[in-house]
Amino acid sequence: MIIYFSGTGNSYSVAKELAKKHNDKVVPLKNAVNDNSKHIIFVFPTYGEDIPPNVIEFIKNFEFNKNQKIIG
């Protein structure tokens, strides 16, 4: 599963390309729930070299499976 946040559409474009190459689905951050995928890829912009606050909050509250590989 590829979870993305995109303010301008650029991160969404990257997420779509990754999904094509990995035969995976793209889910917007606001609609993401854990589907027990083997891996979760996060795609998001950086704001002043930092992770956007809404992405940090989402990751803090997301219920990961201990066997999942997380990529950001």
**What is the mean pLDDT for each group of 10 consecutive residues in the chain (72 residues)?**
96 97 95 90 94 95 89 88
Left, alpha or beta for 68 (phi > 0: left; psi -120 to 50: alpha)? beta
- The pTM assigned to this predicted structure is 0.90
Say what the pLDDT of residue 66 is. 86
6 SS3 class: coil
Q: Which helix H or strand E contains 16, and what residues bound it?
A: helix 10-22
Say what the pLDDT of residue 65 is. 86
Say what the pLDDT of residue 36 is. 87
